[in-house]
Amino acid sequence: MEIEIKKKGVYRYVEEGEGPVLILLHGLFGALSNWKEVLDKFSGKYKVVIPLMPIYDMPLLLTNVSTLSLFVGRFIKFMRYRDFTLIGNSLGGHVALLYITKHPKKVHRLVLTGSSGLYENAMGGTFPRREDYEFIKSKVEYTFYDPNNATKELVDEVYEIVNNRGKLVRILALAKSAIRHNMSEDIKKIETPTCLIWGKQDTVTPPEVAVDFHTLIKSSELFWIDKCGHAPMMEQPQEFNDILYNWLEKQY
């Protein structure tokens, strides 16, 4: 399925299928293509929505996780989504956590995979060698168990981002904001049924982070995927989709 970007008001987003709403939130270097396998699998039974978060468009002083969560909240209200499931990877998980702590009754189910919010090894607090292509390639490979998943297309995309000064300063601002915004106390209050899907070899949000999420969110279930890093829906899409599908089947 080709990914079609729609526009309504100030928002750009993907919306495919009919049924219960699944809202997918991408990470800091994430792109719509990160969710392609999920979109293809679930749009036959669910309405799958992927908002484009304005990571590079926010005023620098407002470039933080809270602003992204407010943006997602406005998008959800504008689109009049009800009783939806929030699914977030990496920074997208952090945004989902912030939203649900402010609007606990609006979210039907929560799914986190490689989420920040507690602790993460940043992909790079700075990029001192951002003009060095091989250095950037090694940083992208770091997010996967199998470095072959760091395709040239993906590395090229990250290389372009970190060599664009306007984009880079916002990436660094968001990364620092995520690290500062520890949510361990807020997370204890979450009562929404939550699915945690984690790569056993995640080096960015290591396995102990998943265990901490599971401990703090009493209503959570934790699922592991072997030979998998920080983006399970990209690296092991079939297993990720099977876990997610079976878990959602029990919820709806």
Place of tokens 């997370």: 187
Report the half-sphere exposure of 105 (CA within 13 A, side-chain side): 0
Out of 3.60.15.10, 3.40.50.1820, 3.10.450.350, 3.40.50.2000, select the CATH number for domain 6-120+182-251. Answer: 3.40.50.1820
Record the pTM: 0.93
Asked whether 44 and 77 are in contact (CB, 8 A), the reply is no
In angstroms, the CA 1 to CA 4 distance is 9
Count the Cβ atoms, other than its own, within 10 Å of residue 218: 11
Asked whether 204 and 142 are in contact (CB, 8 A), the reply is yes
- Residue 18 reports pLDDT greater than 80: yes
CA dihedral of 205, 207, 211, 216, whole degrees rounded to 10:
0
Helical segments of the chain, H only:
36-42, 65-79, 91-102, 133-141, 152-162, 165-180, 184-187, 207-216, 232-235, 237-251
Mean per-residue pLDDT, 128-139 = 82
- Residue 26 has what pLDDT? 92
pLDDT grade, residue 27 (50/70/90)? confident
In angstroms, the CA 11 to CA 76 distance is 10
- Residue 214 has what pLDDT? 98
Most confident by average pLDDT, 52-61, 134-143, 205-214:
205-214
- Residue 1 reports pLDDT greater than 70: no
Mean per-residue pLDDT, 158-166 = 89
- Summary mean pLDDT of the chain: 92
CA triplet 113, 114, 118: central angle to 5 degrees? 115
- Residue 234 has what pLDDT? 95
Backbone φ, ψ for residue 160 (5° rounding): -65, -40
- Of 44-58, 95-109, 164-178, the range with the lowest mean pLDDT is 164-178
The DSSP code sequence of 231-247 is: -HHHHSHHHHHHHHHHH
- Of 94-98, 111-115, 169-173, the range with the lowest mean pLDDT is 169-173
Q: What interhelical angle do 91-102 and 65-79 show, nearest 10?
A: 70
Cβ burial 192-217 (10 Å sphere, 16+ → b, else e): bbbbbbbbebbbbbbeebbebbeebb
- Residue 3 has what pLDDT? 83
Calculate what percentage of the chain has a pLDDT beyond 90: 73
